[in-house]
Amino acid sequence: MTSTRTQVHRLPERGAYDRESIYRILDAGFLAHVGFSVDGQPFVIPTLYGRAGDKLYLHGSAASRMLRELSQGVPACVTVTLADGLVLARSAFHHSMNYRSVVAFGIAKKIEETEPKLEALRAISEHLIPGRWADVRGPYDQELKATSVLEFSIDEASAKVRTGPPKDEEEDYSLPIWAGVMPLNLKPSEPIPDSPPEIPLPDYAKRYQQKSF
């Protein structure tokens, strides 16, 4: 899943190229940034995604410029980053961040047929909140027509991860300056209902409340 364009050159010891490492990060996240170029003009667009095997699924309005361009076979780069902590060193130079990230290159194609399209939408829904798809009304035909769904094949990918404390210059460890890690944790809050009080909070929503990214 790697080539010269996905090899980690800066701090290569943080790089990983095996599918397990890459998929673990993709499965922990839900927000991707998709980069592509149109007539020499680069664009980077945030979007939700789902994963099944070596495919990422993207969706949105049929009028979406990003989806329209990607469906033409424009080469794309998809990145996912999870911020785990701010690393405060003793020197300004060595401040850093603990993170998990994936960079993937590939080509997207538009899913036209109804059943594969529904399956891709289900994959996105289940990636975001497992159990939700079976609990909601499925899309009407006109809703499906108004929605574009793309299948992005991960042709090449790499992961990059930083963990642990600051790494200062040896002579700086004696400085009387606080150093350490400020952990960051994206965690769901109490759900805000938009349904009558007699409809209980579903089990999958309760489980999601306990999730951390």
Q: What is the pTM of this model?
A: 0.89
- According to the model, what pLDDT value does residue 39 have? 87
Domains of the chain by range and CATH? 12-167+179-209 (2.30.110.10)
CA distance 154 to 33: 14
b/e 179-208 (16+ beta carbons within 10 angstroms → b): bebeeeeeeeeeeeeeeeeeeeeeebbeeb
Contact 6, 105 (CB under 8 A): yes
The DSSP string of the chain is ---TTTS--SSGGGEE-SHHHHHHHHHH--EEEEEEEETTEEEEEEEE-EEETTEEEEEEETT-HHHHHHTTT--EEEEEEEEEEEEE-SSSTT-EEEEEEEEEEE-EEE--SHHHHHHHHHHHHHHHSTTSGGGSPPPPHHHHHTEEEEEEE--EEEEEEE-SS----GGGGGSS---EEEE-----------S-TTSPPPHHHHHHHT---
* In the block, residue with structure tokens 């911020």: 83
Digits of tens for pLDDT over the chain (213 positions)?
566 666 666 667 676 788 999 999 999 999 999 999 988 899 999 999 999 989 999 999 988 888 988 998 889 999 999 999 999 999 999 999 999 999 999 999 999 999 999 999 999 999 999 999 999 999 999 999 999 999 998 889 999 999 999 999 999 999 999 999 999 998 899 999 999 999 999 999 999 988 887
Question: What is the β-pairing status of strands 180-183 and 76-88?
Answer: antiparallel
